[in-house]
Each structure stands twice: as structure tokens, then as C-alpha cells.
Amino acid sequence: MADIQHQCDVLIIGSGAAGMTLALKLSKSLRIMMLCKEDPTEGSTYYAQGGVAAVLDEYDSVDSHIDDTLVAGAGLCHKDVVEFTVKRSAETINWLVDLGVKFDTRTQSDGSEEFHLTMEGGHSHRRVIHAADATGKEIAETLSDHLARNDNVTVMPKYVAVDLITRDKVGLKGQDVVGAYALNLSTQQVELFQARFVILATGGASKVYLYTSNPDTASGDGLAMAWRAGCRVANLEFNQFHPTCLYHPDAKSFLITEALRGEGAKLILPNGHRFMPYFDDRAELAPRDIVARAIDHEMKRIGCDCVYLDISHKDEAFISSHFPNIHARCLELGIDMTREPIPIVPAAHYTCGGIVTGKDGTTDLPNLYAIGECSFTGLHGANRMASNSLLECMVFAAAAAEHINAQGTALDRPINIPPWDETQVTNSDEDVIISHNWDELRRFMWDYVGIVRTDKRLQRARRRIQLLQQEVTEYYSHYRISNDLIELRNLILVADLMVQCAIRRKESRGLHYTLDHPSMQQNAADTVLTPPSYG
């Protein structure tokens, strides 16, 4: 039985834009610990290419950004949350600029410099500020550099959170969250972290699908832990598939930013014919759900493995300067995007639903917060508009920090929490079960709970999930845990929650498209699931 215990004021699980922004916004008097699975910058933020949506141009307006977000969200956005977020977009960008984030600029006719803003799907104005095609990398590295200078923050890489600890789970009164157990990947020992406040900034769950643009860390850990602890989740049927991921055997999870389409790239079939105008008047600049379904439809219609994205009609210097990372990566794979189209397919990209929170990141459980992609704020509705995600991370991280700072700095008197007990388990000699179940889960989620769904496919997925849950629960009870087992356990639970939400929605809306219910109902309502018990 390992008995390594840590104590802090604030425990942040996750080190993306949301987690790092929170840490930087919290009072310097707070002792903060931040757990991350890999290196601090290894997460979805680092790989975000497009940029941050914000109202920065004199020809743009807050009302226009709000309206575009509401339209993309297909009637399910919470308007007050959209307003809350968009109204804070400019100050968020100013904060990043003050920290030293180097966004792209352009020279005006009078010789002065202004930010270069690009266009993306769903937006009616150029309002996406970016750093070439590696905005997330620039933001993540800048935030990480500042975090390294904060003496009150201890960043702890190679840790995977296992479960949250509530007072009632350790024999005390109340459901307050008091800490978490986490697996130290270096020692393979589970350690105890006790904290006054715990923040889930764990990202989404797109790894539940076979094809995804996300890094391997996106395994729904925060969602699963929050549900097991007693938090509601909502709208998990809305899984955004990015329309354009590079299709190549050596290009795992490589995203082709939507900004290419914003700058004039066209989607074409293998025979060179353009097809998006047949599906939507906005063509390539339609919201992501429409573009992804159109690509899926055309691939199935003609039986092709991929379609193509063509920006070769643009000047070579323009392409290489605006999209240097994509250009370089394509060249590595033998594709010259300045002269030929890029082969692409849709891939799971963003989890629009999540843990139900307030505008300050608070959840159903006292002292537990959720921010970023793992949360459900009501901002995205049935379909996230491009480049609103990084904005959401930072706006709600700042709001959560303000809420925590207002509650004082002193750590409550430590309580007696038992260490992780491994006395009843042994080392596994059947790890093949994990790999087989992992592969099966991701394949049937792609086939049955993908871009286009049916009642039969959803029910088939639910039955398979229930069988996998039984196997993994038994395995979890008898063997020492590992990173793969933790992630598989979490992904199976999140997959079940996704399917439950999808079964309940008897309509097609935004990212949830079902052949059995193709129409949109008149009244829009969130799908909210409540845990059966807190045991």
C-alpha cells in the first residue's frame, strides 16, 4: 500500500489553455499543484492551429459574433453564456498580448501594424486572430513560460488522475470534493492529493473514436471522474467531427486548419469536381457539421477513401507564409499543397457537451470546478463555431479564478483520507483484454455513433458498451491499474453517456444527425443526465 500524500490549496488536473490560464489568474498566495499526463504543453491546446475568435476589428461587433455563434449552435446555445463569453474576448486577447503571445500582424497602407484576422466557417467577419497555423503552440508555450516563473505553482508531469475524493467517500458528512487519487506513471504508484479546491481541466473525449484529430491524452478522464463523483453531464451527443484531417498512413491525427477554407481552399472530389455548393449556400464556409456530413455523404456515395482540399490556385508565397507548418508537414509526406490538392477525411475533433457548470466553472459538487472542453457551459449548443474553444478555455478559467480568489486563501484543516489500497489486487497477466477492448470500443463508436446515426446503430453500440463495462469492471477489481486501464475505463463510461444522450434526442440538430429522425423539433432542449447515485 503506497502512502504518498500531497497537500495544496488548489489542485488543477490538466495543463492546457484552461488549466494554465487558471493557474496564472489565481492569487499568488495559493499553493497550486498541476497534474499533467505528459509534458505540460502536451494537450489539445498545443495542437490547435486556427486561432482565437474575438471582436477586434472596427467593422466587426460583439452582436455579430454573438449572432454567428447562436446560428452555428442550432438553437441550443445559452444566449446569456454566449454574451458573457464574447464580451470578454477582446480583454482575453489583450491579456495574451501582454504576456507576449506573438499573433500575426500585417502592415497597413500608412505603415502601421495591425493584427491579421482570418475567416473561418460560421463567421460573418474576419475575427480569428492567429499565429500562422500554430496558434495553440504559441499560446501554450507562452503560458507555460510564465507558469515556470510562479513559485506558488508546482507542475507535476507524468500523473494520471484516477478518481475524485468526496467527504462522504471517506466517512464524513457532505459531498465536498477534497482531493483526488492519481497514478504516478514513473513509479506506477497511486498517490493521494488533498486540496481545498479541485479543478478539472482535462479536455475532451475524442479518443473514444477510431479517427481523431486529438492527441492521445483526450480520453474523457474529467468527464468520467465527475460523473462517478456525482456531477450531471449534458449534451454529450454533440461530438464535432473536423471536416479536414490529413489522409495519409503516416499522418496520425494531423489536422488541416479550417483557415485554409477561410482563405479560399475548395473541397473537391477525386475527379476534381467541387461539391460543397450543392449542400449549402455558404459552401466551404458552412459550419463544421454541415461540411463534415457533406464529405461523409460524398465518400459513401462514390465509395472513395477520401476527398481533397485544394488551395493550389493561391500564390505559393502566400501559402507558405500563412500555413508554414501544414506546408512543411505535407512536403514531408510528398504532398506539395502549392501545386496539388491535399487528401482529407473527417475525424472526431471536439466534445461539445460535458460536465454541467455555471459561468464561474462551479459544478454540482462543492469545491469542484470544470473548465475548458470537459465542461458544459452552454456556449457551443449543438455545434461549436470555429475558434470559440480557446476563447472559452480562457474566459471561464478567469471566471473560476475570480470565484476561488474571493473565497480566501487558507487551506482547510487536513482531514484523514485513507491512501490508495492495493492489498486485494495483483499484477495482470491478461493485458491483451485492454488492447482488444480498446480497439473494439473505438471502432464501433466510429461505425455506430459517428457523423450519421440511426436508432438501430445506437442500440447496438449500447449493448456492446454494456458488455465491455462488465469486463473492464471485473478487470479493474482484480488487477493493479495502469494508464491504459484508467483511460479505457473512462472512455467506456463516456461512450455510454454519449450514446444515452444520443438515444434521448429524437431529432437531428447540429452535430447529431440521425436518419430515423431527420427533422429538427420546434422546441430546443438540452439533454441532461444525472448520476443514479453518489456511491
**Whether the predicted model's global pTM rises above the 0.75 cut:** yes
For residues 353 and 365, give the distance between their C-alpha atoms in angstroms, rounded to a whole number: 18
For residues 36 and 38, give the distance between their C-alpha atoms in angstroms, rounded to a whole number: 6
> CA distances (Å), 175 to each of 274, 365, 411, in order?
56, 6, 18
Please write the tens of the pLDDT for every residue from 305-356.
899 999 999 999 999 999 999 999 999 999 999 999 999 999 999 999 999 9
> What's the whole-number mean pLDDT along residues 466-476?
91
Residue 205 carries which side chain, given as an amino acid letter?
A
Q: Quick count: other Cβ atoms within 10 Å of Cβ 410?
A: 10
Looking at domain 5-51+136-237+352-405, its CATH architecture is: 3-Layer(bba) Sandwich (3.50)
41-45, 227-231, 382-386, 429-433: range with lowest mean pLDDT: 41-45
Domain 239-349 has what CATH class?
Answer: alpha beta
Catalytic one of 288, 293, 464, 505: 288
Sign of CA dihedral 394, 124, 83, 203: negative
CB 21 within 8 A of CB 395: no
Own/partner pairs, 440-445, CB within 8 angstroms, 24+ separation: 440/464, 440/468, 441/208, 441/465, 441/468, 441/488, 441/491, 441/492, 441/495, 442/207, 442/208, 442/209, 442/210, 442/491, 443/210, 445/208, 445/209, 445/210, 445/495, 445/498
CB 262 within 8 A of CB 212: no
5-51+136-237+352-405 against 239-349: fold identical: no
Please write the tens of the pLDDT for every residue from 501-533.
999 999 999 999 999 999 999 999 999 999 986
So where are the chain's domains?
Answer: 5-51+136-237+352-405, 239-349, 432-517
For residues 534 and 13, give the distance between their C-alpha atoms in angstroms, rounded to a whole number: 21
Domain 432-517 has what CATH class?
Answer: mainly alpha
Q: HSE, CB side, 13 Å, CA atoms: give it for residue 532.
A: 1
Active site residue 288: yes
Please write the tens of the pLDDT for every residue from 362-390.
999 999 999 999 999 999 999 999 899 99
Q: 188: closest CA among 388, 482, 444? A: 482
% pLDDT > 70, the chain? 96
Secondary structure of 227-238 as H, E, C letters: HHHCCCEECCCC
Which pLDDT score is estimated for 534? 46
Q: 4: closest CA among 487, 484, 477, 417? A: 417
For residues 399 and 371, give the distance between their C-alpha atoms in angstroms, rounded to a whole number: 10
- Beta-bridged to residue 106, according to DSSP, are 114
